[in-house]
Amino acid sequence: MIEYQKKIQNIAERLLNEKKVDVVLGFKKGTIPMMNQPCLVRVPDETQKLVWDSNCGINLTNYLTNRKERIGIIAKGCDTRNIVTHIVENKIKREQLVIIGVPCTGMIDKAKINGLMVNEIAEVSEHNQEITITDSRGATKTIQKKEVLQSNCSICKYKNPVIYDELVADLVPESKDIDRYEDIRKIESMASSEKFKFFEDMLSTCIRCYACRNACPLCYCPTCFVDESKPQWLGKGMDPIDIRTFHFLRAYHCAGRCTDCGSCERACPMDITVRQFTKKLEKDCVELFGWEAGLTLDKRPPLDHYKTNDPQSFIK
């Protein structure tokens, strides 16, 4: 990762020096273990603060929306798919961007790492594909990174950037024959009452902080439907119906657009597996339309355009 980091810093410095971009969007080192902070670098001297490791799970495309400057953005596979979606949806222009592509080997899951140690985690370091964890009493454990990946990363099909101008390392091999929908099929096979219970349990700890929505690059509506007040569509309390309505509608709004970057789950303070919703819709889009989001600039997502030869009669 340290090689990646050096290369990222060099590219960022060069782009700023050559005035190809006004800012570079990347990560700086966080203040606690397993956290980095999205940041903007404006001058070449500051590029040394850019970091790269397996704690860069927040999707930086979220910070591009409607920006006007020329931006260098450090982007892993999923981030680039969201950049494509942003360009197609007119949220940023391709000409504004210099995409610094990062072939990604996955991000680590804080909760999984916390679960491996009895005491608080003091430090997490990585070398090649190994992660070394040190706890507050000095005990250490070294494990393979693949054992503690975020669950979206462990089933990722697009580790490499799908669109880029610069590349920080050689492309990494993509995983073959991944079953992305094992959990979704399990839910699909449940009886209605069982499904209802499953979702009820899943959302029972939601505090409506909207971290999932706000960490999502797709959720750029100027006013989200849950924040509309004239008219107000949704109650503001803890009624489970309101909470479910938020999650279901948000997921539907992401149908055919979600790249399963995992930012929503990563941001959730209550560790709710909100990707279960978006993945079901992703699966439907694959099966019904042969569509995966963010792979091409030439086509619009299946649910945001109309074809006269649509097989469904209700829409004609």
Contact residues: other proteins, CB under 8 A: 30-32, 35-40, 58, 62-63, 111, 120, 122, 136, 201, 204-205, 207-211, 213-215, 223, 227, 229, 235-239, 263, 266-267, 269-272
Nearer to other proteins, 10 or 48 (CB): 48
179: tokens are 């079953």
Nearer to other proteins, 54 or 160 (CB): 54
Task: Give pairs for 246-254: CB < 8 Å, separation 24+.
Answer: 246/208, 247/203, 247/206, 247/274, 247/277, 248/277, 249/225, 250/212, 250/213, 250/219, 250/277, 251/277, 251/278, 251/280, 251/281, 252/281, 253/218, 253/219, 254/216, 254/218, 254/219, 254/278, 254/281
79: tokens are 């981030």
Nearer to other proteins, 168 or 206 (CB): 206
C-beta of 175: minimal distance to other proteins in Å? 26
Nearer to other proteins, 59 or 160 (CB): 59
Nearer to other proteins, 111 or 178 (CB): 111
3-state secondary structure of 288: helix
C-beta of 228: minimal distance to other proteins in Å? 9
Residue 6 carries which side chain, given as an amino acid letter?
Answer: K
C-beta of 247: minimal distance to other proteins in Å? 15
Strands (E), the chain: 23-29, 36-41, 71-75, 97-101, 121-127, 130-135, 140-144, 166-167
Beta bridge partners of residue 142, listed in sequence order: 132
Nearer to other proteins, 144 or 205 (CB): 205
Note if the bond before 231 is cis, omega within 30 degrees.
yes
